Amino acid sequence: MPITDGFVLFCDDYRSEVANKQSIMGFYGPQLHLIDPPEGAPLQLGNLSIICIVRSEGVDELKVDFEIEFENAPIDTMDNVTGNTVISDLPTDRQWSSNFHVKMGGLPIQAGMTIKAKFNVNGQAFAASLGITDAPMPQPLVVSG
């Protein structure tokens, strides 16, 4: 099978580093818990990166379509962002990891909002969502041995 696996995640920032390493900063789980901003300050994410990472084998080209949807977003926030790209000349004699990311700054948010990301890579779908909530954060699970 040309694409062996893949996933989508949300974080503050994503960077390519020296020696072909990738850094993911501020990874978000399935929910982002809001903390009260100062009076009158707008709620917004300074940076939001949405990343799709796929591993392929035996395919020399990846065609990618993506859509980011914003459900229950603040007024005057876009409904969605779409785009596409093609990566060509991939090595076909070994597995290869490819990263696609969408980066946004100053995104207005509010409790009850959901951000949905869908990537279609050579006909295979990868998706994830991020819910915005003002519910208190759950207590961390402490495991002792």
What are the extents of the domains in the chain?
3-133
Predicted model pTM: 0.87
The CATH number given to 3-133 is 2.60.40
Decide if pLDDT at 1 tops 60. Answer: no
Over range 110-120, report the average pLDDT. Answer: 95
Which residues, in sequence order, are CB contacts of 86 under 8 Å at separation 6+? 61, 62, 63, 64
Decide if pLDDT at 92 tops 90. Answer: no
- Contact at 8 Å (CB) between 145 and 102? no
pLDDT band, residue 69 (cuts 50/70/90): very high
Report the 10 Å Cβ neighbour count for 6. Answer: 18
Over range 21-31, report the average pLDDT. Answer: 90
Over range 46-73, report the average pLDDT. Answer: 93
Model pLDDT, residue 138: 76
